[in-house]
A and B are shown apart, each in its own frame.
Chain A
Amino acid sequence: MENLINIKIIDYGMGNIQSVKNAFELLNGKVEIISDPSNIKNADGIILPGVGAFSNAIKNLKERKLIEPLKEAVIDQKVPLLGICLGMQLLADNSEEGGDNEGLSFIAGKICKIPHMEGYRLPHVGWNDVAVKKKEPLFRNIIDKGSFYFVHSYRFECDDEFVVATTNYGQSINAVVRKENVFGVQFHPERSQRKGLHLLSNFVNYIKGTKV
């Protein structure tokens, strides 16, 4: 049997799903965009992409009845999950974007607006260096210094134990977080050229590793 794994991208009506799919197609070949809750079953890895506003995202997830199956897969069955940008922020407990909104609570933390600082334009958009704090599967074979494409106005605040990598924009911003099988990246690996593709392929390899 061919060694392909089932990667499923959650479509909740927001975000650059096509770009994410393009990247995984290049790396793995078997990737599916799903919006039906019953399709989450038998996923080997789940991608939660996202561009947009937190409140809308969580509302859409609820409306499409995706939250319970997601929790079942990620918490009970320990299916690896990668949250990208807004998808990463959805992993937190709550967010102050668009009122006070509850998140998925996969990683304890909250989403706050990046405080305005003189000389730093918001949103934080562009390529920024990422400093890797912990040797993690996502950064295998990627040299410690490298830049990735960010575009966001809110940041993930959480306990240091979950922080894998940070970036600096006048102040420290968590760039990568992880708790067990749940990963979140604030930048867009699908649009961060070779380094980004490399990171995604590391995630694919991580999923393969969990299956052995």
Chain B
Amino acid sequence: MLKKRLIACLLMKDDLIVQSIGFNKYLPIGNPKFPLEFLNKWDVDEIVLLDISAYKQKRKLNLKILEVLSKSCFVPLTVGGGITSVEDVRKYIRAGADKVSINSSAINNSKLITEIVNIFGSQCVVVSMDCKLDKDGIYRIYKDSGKIPTNLVASDWAKEVESLGAGEIFLNSIDRDGSKIGYDNNLIKEITEAVSIPIIACGGVGDFSHFASGIIKGGASAVAAGNIFHYIEHSTIIAKMNLLQSGIDIRMDSEATYKGREFDKNGRLMMMSREDLSKIEFTRGKEDII
């Protein structure tokens, strides 16, 4: 069976990876090479790399960085930020991207979606949507890093990008971004019910137990987060073990699985009991034959 996916979203601002809070505050993490390497080793299913300052500064993502990152990436790499033409897509893919993500430029020129799809295929195009719950109770789309409101109703826009040929939707909640209170499952549900292409949910994960709700309550095909994966050892593996324990089918190829370990109500790994600790023996991991 097709597995659900756990996606790590790396936000890049001025060539540095950052954590984002509410689309307006940013904490620096550092060189993109390191998070990319550890995420790859820790069983992540996909990586989304977004240059959040490119579009506003009217420039492209730094292709040199992309080339270096792609060399140590062996999971699908989706790249976004600054794409305004088919030629940009070609450059990004040449530099090592597998898929591209477009956001503001799709809102300003929706024909761009179809143009990219006709050349690179639907599976190559991820449309990223930044949504916010307006005071009248309707989810609307915001553009330019969530700063400028548009009249687009989120579910209508989702249907439109589907009909224009988009392969997936990366759904971000501005309200929940960096909030650590979990996904906006109402939003996810509204969009998954509106379209039949896969939805990637993002925004708001504060502990590892939140991932499962995006799939169970929201109906997402993939769950993504950014901030939580930094500063925690084996973050993506622990997230996956939480998903597995919630009964969700997900790929787990790593040697360290945390199988049988207990998690607290926030999804954090619990300490082992003294008795269990004393039983641990060190074993040598299987050698990789590649």
Interface contact B221-A191, CB-CB below 8 Å: no
Q: Which of A40-74 contact B (CB under 8 A)?
A: 51-53, 56
Stretch at the interface among B30-38, B51-59, B120-128: B120-128
| A-side contacts of B130, CB under 8 Å | none
81-136 of chain A: CB within 8 A of chain B: 86, 116, 120-129
> What per-residue 1/0 map shows which CB atoms of B202-238 lie under 8 Å from chain A?
0000000000000000000110000000000000000
Interface pairs A-B: 10 shortest CB-CB:
A18-B96, A52-B121, A151-B123, A127-B251, A191-B76, A127-B3, A16-B98, A128-B2, A52-B120, A147-B251
A52-B120, A53-B119 are contacts. A191–B74 as well, Cβ < 8 Å?
Answer: yes
**B163 to nearest A CB, angstroms?**
14
> In whole Å, how far is A97's beta carbon from the nearest beta carbon of chain B?
9
Q: Is B80 an interface residue (CB 8 A)?
A: no
B93, CB-defined interface residue at 8 Å: yes
Task: State whether the Cβ of B77 lies closer than 8 Å to any Cβ in chain A.
Answer: yes
From 13 to 60 in chain A, residues with beta carbon under 8 angstroms from any chain B beta carbon are 14-19, 22-23, 25, 27, 51-53, 56
Are A123 and B222 closer than 8 Å at their CB atoms?
no
Distance in Å: Cβ of A153 to nearest Cβ of chain B:
6
| Interchain Cβ contacts under 8 Å between A and B, 19 examples | A15-B93, A16-B96, A17-B94, A19-B73, A19-B98, A51-B120, A52-B124, A121-B197, A122-B196, A123-B197, A126-B45, A126-B222, A127-B3, A149-B75, A152-B123, A169-B1, A191-B75, A192-B75, A193-B43
User: Contacts of B98 on A, CB cut-off 8 Å?
Assistant: 16, 19, 51, 188, 191
Q: Which residues of B contact A155 (CB under 8 A)?
A: none
Provide the bound-state CA to CA distance between A38 and B267, in Å. 58
User: Which B residues are in CB contact (< 8 Å) with A77?
Assistant: none
Would you call B197 and A122 a contact (CB within 8 A)? yes
| A149 / chain B contacts, CB cutoff of 8 Å | 45, 75-76
Instruction: Given A193-B253, A196-B74, A197-B74, check contact A127 B2 (CB 8 Å).
Output: yes
Listed residue (B93, B121, B196, B251) with the most chain A CB atoms within 10 angstroms of its CB: B121
Q: How far is the CA of A200 from the CA of B96 in the complex (A)?
A: 18
Known: A22-B71, A152-B123, A153-B123. 6 other contacts (CB 8 A): A19-B70, A86-B121, A123-B167, A192-B75, A193-B40, A193-B253
Residues of B within 8 A of A192 (CB): 74-75
Chain A residue at smallest Cβ distance from B198 = A121
The verdict on A198 contacting B289 (CB below 8 Å), with A51-B124, A127-B2, A127-B5 known, is yes
Q: Give the residue name and chain of the B residue nearest to A27 (CB).
A: B290
Q: Which of the listed residues A116, A127, A190, A195 has the most CB atoms from chain B within 10 Å of its own CB?
A: A127
| List of B residues within 8 angstroms of A14 by Cβ | 119-120
Cβ-closest chain A residue relative to B40: A193
Least distance between A143 CB and chain B CB atoms (Å)? 11
Indicate whether B87 reaches chain A with its CB closer than 8 angstroms.
no
Residues of A within 8 A of B251 (CB): 127, 147
Task: Say whether B288 faces chain A, with CB atoms less than 8 Å apart.
Answer: yes
Chain B contacts for A179, CB-based, 8 A:
none
| Contact call B93/A16, Cβ cutoff below 8 A | yes
A15 vs B214: C-alpha distance in the bound complex, in angstroms? 31
Closest B residue, CB atoms, query A200: B290
- Known contacts A123-B197, A129-B1: A201-B96 contact under CB 8 Å: no
